[in-house]
Structure 1
Amino acid sequence: MVTSRHARAAATGLLLDALLGDPPNQVHPVAWFGTAMTAWERAAYRDSRAAGVLHAAVGTALGAAAGRACRSTAAASAVAVAGRGLRGAAGSIAARLADDDLDGARALLPTLVGRDASTLDAHEITRAVVESVAENTVDAVVAPALWAAAAGAPGGLAHRAVNTMDAMVGHRSARYDRYGWAAARLDDAAAWVPARVTALLVGAVRPSAAAAVARAVRDQAPAHPSPNAGVAEAAFAAALGVGLGGENRYGDRVERRPDLGTGPPPGHADIGRACRLSRDVTIALGLVLVTAGRNR
């Protein structure tokens, strides 16, 4: 249940992230968390779901405990939200593409996505960036802010822990098929509502495309293997008037993603449009949280 105090604090966290961005990795609590969970995995890894459930439980508890120790929902939200960093990383890749620096764009792409960038051309890199901006608007902006609004600092940092564990061990591979199962399913559950709130906000900030967004989310998103990334990517594709989806390579594995949207493939200028859409969704979410805080 969203409380007025937590809602206002979560909105403050969104503002702080927009103004200050992320601290350097050396002093970033999320980086510290990643180091701690890497050490846990090194000590406790077993090729089993049971070991993965324990991994997910320990990491979530660690995130919630950090939130209780922090005591400030605004500060915890600022740590958990990474919208400015997301837009900055995407913008840096767009700048390389605009300069025809394909090697530079490939080198930067792993900061946003897990797919193999070594053979991607400019069009594939552009699509990967737009899809990542869409998905991470949920994971790095809307979801942590909503969890902070609902459960204070422990909620915001617990969600950030869950999402970080999903990025670390939740992908399909021989090592993580069983061990990462719990982290991946927990992340799916934690982002289910935020993904759909994101789609609503996309339609709200791009009203001329609202009907197309609703159709894409209803008709196209269910074909995506992720219950949440598909919703965000379909909403962004419809709002931007571009087509997303296609083949993604992850090491030796190739996945075919469904076509999302009905427009042409995105060009590098569409990365900037996606970033502005993500920014506008963030602003709209902040206004919703402030309004919720005043009305309770």
Structure 2
Amino acid sequence: MRAHRTQLCGAALGHLGDLLLGDPRRGHPVAAFGRAAAAAERVLWRDHRGAGALHTALCVAGAVTAVTALSRTARTLAGAGGATLVDAAVTWTVLGGTGLRQEALAVARALHADDVEGARRLLPNLCGRDPQALDADGVARAVVESVAENTSDAVVGALVWGAAAGAPGMAAFRAVNTLDAMVGHRSPRHLRFGWAAARLDDAAGWPGARLTAVLAALAGPSPRGALRAWRADAGSHPSPNAGPVEAAFAGALGVRLGGTLSYGGRTEHRPVLNSRGRAVRREDIAAAVRLSRRVGALALLVTSAAGALRAGRRAERGAR
């Protein structure tokens, strides 16, 4: 139970740090991990799934080993307080909810000022879409979809793995998510090499995505709409995790997501999520941000309660 209290306090402090401070402005550990992963790719790259699997395994193991060693050292030198501070620092580093919401609201401000070109310039901070082909409503839709998906990736999923495996679990989840963004796409260079990272990201993101969809239904303006859109449309999305999250957000907010989009000069025609909803407008960005904030807060409560329950059961078994 003592270890769980340390973990719980660290998660709460880290979440508070993200709310108050946002992402670290300099020397972000995730950026450092990305540079190390890119250097490893230059050495290990082969047009083969096995080479990509080795790259993924080494990078994730390196992140977990570093955080585990840091936690043990802090506990040895400063006891439970030191371990709590490490958990808080890792949580703050891994969570990205505040940065996500700030970037989304920056685009919303540009759209409200009728500065569509400025909104297009800001959009790459949120997603990899080609912004020049988008009008104001198209930019707004891209932002709402990015807020939905990244609420799962940058907040809820990390908290789920933190509850399951502490700071090392959070580090592993962020490492996998970062590798997927770097190599887990269908470019000629990464079609085979990035296969392992993409599949591992799908598996790691599965529980967080479902929890995000449930919480979006509970916290949104239309729980019934969220559940209906999730049930009807999530399965048609090409991503097994983005589908439930984006469908639930679409139904909760009463808007349509999905449709035609462009990545790297390649046009994709994705199924519409929540066909009963209306087209996204610029005002919907603020609504999506509010929903994302509520989902993040609820996720902290749920994962903390789940961790406490698990720790209590372990204590009961140990006392028998």
Q: CA deviation at 1:233?
A: 0.3
Counterpart Cα distance in 2 of 1:47 and 1:118: 32
Counterpart Cα distance in 2 of 1:8 and 1:258: 42
1:230 corresponds to which residue? Answer: 243
Q: CA deviation at 1:294?
A: 5.2
Give the 3-state SS of the residue equivalent to 2:191 in structure 1: helix
Q: CA deviation at 1:213?
A: 1.3
Q: CA deviation at 1:21?
A: 0.9
User: Residues 182-221 of structure 1: matches in 2 within 5 Å?
Assistant: 182-206=196-220, 209-221=222-234
User: Residues 129-208 of structure 1: matches in 2 within 5 Å?
Assistant: 129-206=143-220
Asked if structure 1 preserves the Cα contact closer than 8 Å seen for 2:48 and 2:193, the reply is yes
Counterpart Cα distance in 2 of 1:70 and 1:216: 43
The equivalent position to 1:271 in structure 2, one of 282, 285, 298, is: 285
Counterpart Cα distance in 1 of 2:100 and 2:127: 11
Counterpart Cα distance in 1 of 2:302 and 2:270: 32
Q: CA deviation at 1:148?
A: 1.0
Q: CA deviation at 1:8?
A: 4.3
Counterpart Cα distance in 1 of 2:116 and 2:219: 32
Counterpart Cα distance in 2 of 1:152 and 1:188: 20
Give the 3-state SS of the residue equivalent to 1:263 in structure 2: coil
1:122 corresponds to which residue? Answer: 136
Give the 3-state SS of the residue equivalent to 1:118 in structure 2: helix
Give the 3-state SS of the residue equivalent to 1:179 in structure 2: coil
Give the 3-state SS of the residue equivalent to 1:132 in structure 2: helix
2:23 corresponds to which residue? Answer: 22
Q: Which amino acid aligns with 2:12?
A: A
Q: CA deviation at 1:257?
A: 1.2
Q: CA deviation at 1:107?
A: 1.1
Counterpart Cα distance in 1 of 2:22 and 2:70: 18
Q: Are 2:249 and 1:241 equivalent residues in the alignment?
A: no
RMSD value over aligned CA atoms? Answer: 1.6
Counterpart Cα distance in 2 of 1:273 and 1:12: 26
Asked if structure 2 preserves the Cα contact closer than 8 Å seen for 1:166 and 1:184, the reply is yes
Give the 3-state SS of the residue equivalent to 1:178 in structure 2: coil
Counterpart Cα distance in 2 of 1:268 and 1:54: 44
Counterpart Cα distance in 1 of 2:65 and 2:162: 14
Counterpart Cα distance in 2 of 1:102 and 1:154: 42
Counterpart Cα distance in 2 of 1:140 and 1:22: 11
Instruction: Could you tell me which runs of 5 or more consecutive residues in structure 2 were left unpaired when the two chains were aligned.
Output: 72-85, 313-320
Q: Which has the larger radius of gyration?
A: 2
- TM-score, length-scaled by structure 2: 0.87
Counterpart Cα distance in 1 of 2:60 and 2:126: 23
Q: Which amino acid aligns with 1:53?
A: A
Q: Which amino acid aligns with 1:243?
A: R
User: Percentage identity across aligned positions?
Assistant: 53
Most deviating of 233-242 and 117-126: 117-126
Q: Which amino acid aligns with 1:11?
A: A
Q: CA deviation at 1:3?
A: 4.7
Quick one: structure 1 residues 180 and 294, their matched pair in 2 at CA, closer, same or farther if it must change by over 3 Å? closer
Q: CA deviation at 1:90?
A: 0.5
Q: CA deviation at 1:201?
A: 0.8
User: Per-residue CA shift, 1:106-140, capped at 9, x if unaligned?
Assistant: 11111111121122111111111000000000000
Asked if structure 2 preserves the Cα contact closer than 8 Å seen for 1:8 and 1:293, the reply is no
Counterpart Cα distance in 2 of 1:99 and 1:200: 34
Q: Are 2:134 and 1:103 equivalent residues in the alignment?
A: no
Instruction: Could you tell me which runs of 5 or more consecutive residues in structure 1 were left unpaired when the two chains were aligned.
Output: none
Counterpart Cα distance in 1 of 2:7 and 2:164: 7
- TM-score, length-scaled by structure 1: 0.94
Asked if structure 2 preserves the Cα contact closer than 8 Å seen for 1:17 and 1:78, the reply is yes
Counterpart Cα distance in 2 of 1:256 and 1:66: 41
For CA contacts below 8 A with separation 6 or more, give which structure has more relative contact order.
Answer: 1
Give the 3-state SS of the residue equivalent to 1:63 in structure 2: helix
Give the 3-state SS of the residue equivalent to 2:64 in structure 1: helix
